Amino acid sequence: MSTLSGMGDGLQAAWLLARGRPEGLAVLSARAEPAMATAARSFWAAALCLPAFVCLQLMSLTGTSATAFSAHTFALQLEGYALDWAAFALVSRSLAMVVGQGEKWPVFIAALNWCNVIQFVLLVAAGLPSLLGLPDFVGETVWLVVYGWSLWLEWYVSKLSLDIDGMSAVGFVVLDEALGLILLMVIQGIGGA
């Protein structure tokens, strides 16, 4: 299966899952390839999300001086971006084994990786009200809705793909958020040094 075809299937699956449609998993599971190949291919989503990540970094500069942004800081943010994708994949695989669903992890990580593409696009869109000069409460409300939906999507994909209960799925969401916060603190600590 070609990479482009696999990307198309992944994005189709993400679109279905993002709308709460469980048949999105069937799109990923219906491939005539090993589940780990599907999981490996899904990391192309990180490349697709990179422009949105860069856009979010640039949007965060609004209202700050351009000197606050340096190549060193940006390089650290890029490293954090890559580390976050890899760290969550590694730790979530171990956690999936702990909850007795290790064999379902490849479809879980593939679904989550592809759903990240939609999440990143919506996060960029959530930043537009501020760039357009709309009142703060509009931008904050839009961002809160998108962020809440993103958390729901990660919970939904975890619960559905790993076939676990809702509280266990919350654990996967908390793990992802905690890893992101830890990496952010480390990057800020290095950047400030």
Beta strands in 76-162 (DSSP E): none
Which amino acid is residue 180, in one-letter code?
G
What pLDDT is recorded for position 167? 96
pLDDT tens for the chain, residues 1 to 193: 566 777 889 999 999 999 999 999 999 877 667 889 889 999 999 999 999 999 988 887 765 555 555 777 788 889 989 999 999 999 999 999 999 999 999 999 999 999 999 999 999 999 889 888 889 899 899 999 999 999 999 999 999 999 999 999 999 999 999 999 998 888 878 866 4
Nearest one of 91, 99, 72 to 180, comparing CA atoms: 91
Answer yes or no: are the C-beta atoms of 3 and 25 closer than 8 Å: no
pLDDT of residue 108: 96
Specify burial of residue 67 (Cβ count, 10 A radius: 0-12, 13-18, 19+): exposed
Cα Rg, the chain, nearest whole Å: 17
C-alpha span between 153 and 98 (Å, rounded): 22
Longest CA–CA span in the chain (Å) reads 52
Please report, as a single letter, which amino acid is at residue 163.
D
Domain boundaries, the chain: 3-192
DSSP letter for 99, please.
T
**pTM beyond 0.85, yes or no:** yes
Q: Looking at 18-159, which runs of residues are DSSP E strands?
A: none
